[in-house]
Structure 1
Amino acid sequence: MSHVLLENAQKRVNNIFCIGRNYAAHIEELKNEMPSETVLFTKPNSAILRSGGEIRLPAFGGDVHFETELVLLVGKDSDGLAEGESWQTLIAGYGVGLDLTARDVQGRLKEKGLPWLKAKGFRGSACVSDFVAADKLPNPDNCTFTLHIDGGLRQKGETVLMIHPPAELVGELAAVFGLREGDLIFTGTPEGVGKLSSGSRLQLDLAGLVKAEFTVV
């Protein structure tokens, strides 16, 4: 099973939950409709690619996009938050990641009303940094994360602009599906997504606390 690092300790990855359409400007740039409820999908844990890895573009997709996101690492099991329980008690750490999307494949599947799994869940499509302990990011509701490609800034996310903030996401996931230790939550991407090209070098940063690097081959 795949694993990530939390303060240099290995943590096994369980489920990977992903949130779509969580920033208004990203919805606008892709000309999607504003959803009436949270858009949820999953990736297999075989999709995990840790910092330093090589992104291998799938042969079946000719238009693979990067989507930079704040990622939450769940630290304990929950079948729903108790009254007065803070969502942050469930989170062990924070990182930054990429939800890679074969956009051309996704478009064809959406037109047919079919699931997106092939477009979202291929090997290496869930790129993640190492994780910092939750107490090192005291205000996840108002922090920034960035993506640079070949030295140029391509995305800058501000979590204060999320349509569904972390508290809402964690509460909903715990109540509907149940959360388990080792689950990852990709919280959605801001505007600025674009196509990956072979040979590019990607640098991710979360609030100056943790960084990640990937090379497209």
Structure 2
Amino acid sequence: MGDYILQKTKITSVPKYGLKVKLNHVYPEKRTQNFVPSLKIIWSMLPLILRYLWDYVISKIRGTYVVMDYVYVENAKQIYGVPVGGIGSGTIGRGYRGEFCRFQMRPGIYEWNTVDANQFIITIKDQHQETIFHSLLTTFPKKSLKSWQSLIDGSKCNYTGLYPRSWTEYDLTEYGIKLKCRQISPVIPHDYVEPSQSQV
């Protein structure tokens, strides 16, 4: 029995390595992913570029979705953490500050947005069932739903991401609570049924 508990603790505990940031972390550098190839590379890829542009124009005329849009490239933001999802089931990106972002439910088609209403909420009540703390479990700034408040101190909370798992630790010691949200995107060799169902 002791070996089982030790093994379970080892699997569920926060690892020593991985992406480790506070929930109020802001990256100091401004990243750009815009790449301008040299003329030599453009010349060697010219047949492929012309073929792509032809297909792009035809797709736009027909009104169909362009799966890989290199004309209007969507720039990634420095908000992403470990995605929630399995093999072949699509993914829901979860940012390191607790927000749900970057949805991909159909292969190759991404939605690069953060949905304010998709949040975890914590409510702490006292012994008289009076609410003493009610907050979103995120520090990501919202564009809508202004009445939804996030009272979490991001400097006291930690995110650790190590694919296929991530951990968000919320320090609410002023209420006698430490909360840990663990997510896993199962990747099991030779089993394609279980990995296709994400778990949070």
- Same fold per TM (> 0.5)? no
Higher relative contact order (CA 8 A, sep 6+): 1
- TM-score of the superposed pair, with normalisation by structure 2: 0.22
Q: Larger C-alpha radius of gyration, 1 or 2?
A: 2
- TM-score of the superposed pair, with normalisation by structure 1: 0.20
